[in-house]
Chain A
Amino acid sequence: MDLKDIIKPENLVYTKTKNMTDKELSYCPGCGHGTAHMITMEAVEELGITEKTIGVAPVGCSVLAYEFMNVDMQQAAHGRAPAVATALSRVMPEKVIFTYQGDGDLAAIGTAETIHACNRGENIVIIFVNNGIYGMTGGQMAPTTLMGMKSSTSPYGRTAEQNGNPLKMTELVAQLEGTYNVSRHSVHTFKNVKKAKKAIKKAFQDAMDKKGTQFVEIVSNCNSGWKMSPVKSNEWMEEHMFAYYPLGQIKKDGVLVNNSNQN
């Protein structure tokens, strides 16, 4: 049997969601963004809400998310995605609105917009990809950069005296009345991808049902910013990032979960 006899539509065992465009991803090989994009778009397709989903892209590595996500999208100013999403949700309550933001965008410049959108309980989904560094601008320190971690603006390692401690935004927003589901995931193994996708799907459903703000953090790697191979970066993430940013459900259906450190 020839290869071209095998490559036929009827033999397909997997197809890419129509909610992803055919554009080649601009992310570094080994980066988690591609998977995070894909499961977000798959969740939207599986819920059958493609026509009423509107996304908001941030400033950072995923600034071009609108090139890859095949839904109507707006690109927000740095950190302002939750404000843009707030307006979209308020003027079009029948639509489902999500933001897709990195840690520099959400946890530094956009802290006020993040906290206030969550506090108002805007019926939006916030996908927060945390790789502990500014990837797009070349590996500078983020508010989420781990203690002692070296970056181009903390070349001798982050210290609490100089920079304060890494910010746990997800635990912080979980304390607010407006948030409904708050969880932390990763997308570096198949098992974790499945869990993350399940959380994202529930987030979209609950936002659609006007239950409040849905906050899904995805702890990810930045092999180029961390200056590691993709495999090494994932090992380092498991060992160091997960220790400080433990995976799991932090708030479920409006109730804080005990033992949130247990996955």
Chain B
Amino acid sequence: MAEVKLMKGNEAFAEAAIRVGSDAYFGYPITPQSEVIEYLMTEQPHMRTGMVVLQAESEVAAINMVYGAAGAGKKVLTSSSSPGISLKLEGISYMAGAELPAVILNVVRGGPGLGTIQPSQADYFQAVKGGGHGDYKMLVLAPSSVQEMADFVEDAFDVAFRYRNPVMILSDGVIGQMMEKVVFKPQQDRWTEEEIIKMNGSWATTGKTADRERNIITSLNMRSDAMEIHNHKLQAKYKLMEENEVRFEEFMCDDAEYIMVAYGSSARIAQKTLDIARSKGIKVGLLRPITLFPYPTKKIQEYVNNGVKGFLSVEMSAGQMVEDVRLAVNGKAEVEHYGRNGGIVPSPTEVLNALETQIIK
């Protein structure tokens, strides 16, 4: 039987990073995610697997280190929290443009500015709608447990390499800091040089051998006609993600008249709200989007077609994901938002009250 460990979400992410055979992690300390690099430095993964861990001089340097390692066809990760992710966005845009796979963890804290060190979900727009410059998308995974902080590392690398695109794990200060039971998969080997050349040799800078042309990693094209073609290629890729990569979890949605939509730690709170509401006889369900891009738009449209009367988006923000719910519902049912800001985590009864006053009425 697999060993069960009690760990923080940040530590689980770090341990999983070693277990999936990552080649490198580059990061910079920031609360509430510093346990990631602390755990990695303590574990000395270069002794376990040969994985490189380096504390960079800034988030800017760290993301550009990720660019370099990803461009060599390696499995590379970084992590940060909101202000640090803002600094990384330039590099993320370059990686999307140059089509580089990598895994980026954001343990979101309250903003704007230096904000707070307490949990928030106010970086939804930044993660899902682009954030950096140019028309690009990241695939965004939203864990709602410590177990998922571990499991999503492998899932994230899988889609990152399948699409040659950066993938963000959008967590928050609750999931990063809380301790839960977690079970890890066995250690996987890091890719050998031969495997990397076989899989990524058509584009990665592994050293120009006589049998091939040089490989170039760049996001630059001086010709606007060629740049438009490149943009079309990227958009086609994002469309494929929308068709194939949508993930969500449903709780008691089959007979629901009302549906709460919540991701990450808000989904955990909404689960408790769901229990209380159901015990009061309210026919409510919960949709937990696991991928935030691509978004479970079609699923929400199904609910609307099946006669769901109203939706409540529950987020620790002033109302960001609610816009995607509204886009999906397209005016055919009531959509409201309930959230707290600046690092305040709502209670299940607060959410229930919002459901009863804003949606059911």
Chain A positions near chain B (C-beta within 8 angstroms): 50-54, 56-57, 63-64, 66, 70-77, 80, 83-88, 90-92, 95, 112-113, 116
**Is B205's CB under 8 angstroms from A72's CB?**
yes
Chain B positions near chain A (C-beta within 8 angstroms): 23-24, 26, 52, 54, 56-58, 60-62, 64-69, 71-72, 74, 76, 90-91, 94, 98, 205-210, 214-220, 222
Instruction: Please name all residues of chain B whose beta carbon is closer than 8 Å to the beta carbon of A74 when the two chains form the complex.
Output: 67-68, 71, 205, 216-218
Question: What's the Cα separation between A64 and B54 when bound, in Å?
Answer: 29
In the complex with contacts A72-B205, A83-B56, A112-B57, A77-B24 CB distance below 8 A = no
**Is B64's CB under 8 angstroms from A84's CB?**
yes
- Among B26, B205, B206, the one with the most A-chain Cβ atoms within 10 Å of its Cβ is B205
**6 tightest A-B CB contacts, nearest first:** A87-B68, A84-B68, A75-B218, A80-B64, A72-B205, A87-B65
Instruction: Please name all residues of chain A whose beta carbon is closer than 8 Å to the beta carbon of B210 when the two chains form the complex.
Output: 51
**Is A73's CB under 8 angstroms from B68's CB?**
no
Q: How far is the CB of A247 from chain B (nearest CB, A)?
A: 30
Question: What's the Cα separation between A64 and B219 when bound, in Å?
Answer: 11
Question: What's the Cα separation between A182 and B240 when bound, in Å?
Answer: 50
Taking a contact as CB atoms closer than 8 A, the residue among B68, B90, B207, B220 that contacts A56 in the complex is: B68
Question: What's the Cα separation between A164 and B221 when bound, in Å?
Answer: 35
**Is B72's CB under 8 angstroms from A91's CB?**
yes
In the complex with contacts A91-B24, A116-B57, A72-B64 CB distance below 8 A = no
When C-beta atoms are compared, the residue in chain A nearest to B205 turns out to be: A72
**Is A72's CB under 8 angstroms from B208's CB?**
yes
In the complex with contacts A72-B205, A75-B217, A75-B219, A91-B67 CB distance below 8 A = no
Question: What's the Cα separation between A66 and B214 when bound, in Å?
Answer: 9
Q: How far is the CB of A86 from chain B (nearest CB, A)?
A: 6
When C-beta atoms are compared, the residue in chain A nearest to B94 turns out to be: A77
Instruction: Please name all residues of chain A whose beta carbon is closer than 8 Å to the beta carbon of B62 when the two chains form the complex.
Output: 83
Q: How far is the CB of B51 from chain A (nearest CB, A)?
A: 9
**Is B91's CB under 8 angstroms from A80's CB?**
yes
When C-beta atoms are compared, the residue in chain B nearest to A63 turns out to be: B220
Q: How far is the CB of B101 from chain A (nearest CB, A)?
A: 14
Question: What's the Cα separation between A90 and B66 when bound, in Å?
Answer: 11
**Is B91's CB under 8 angstroms from A73's CB?**
no
- Among A66, A86, A91, the one with the most B-chain Cβ atoms within 10 Å of its Cβ is A91
Q: How far is the CB of B56 from chain A (nearest CB, A)?
A: 7
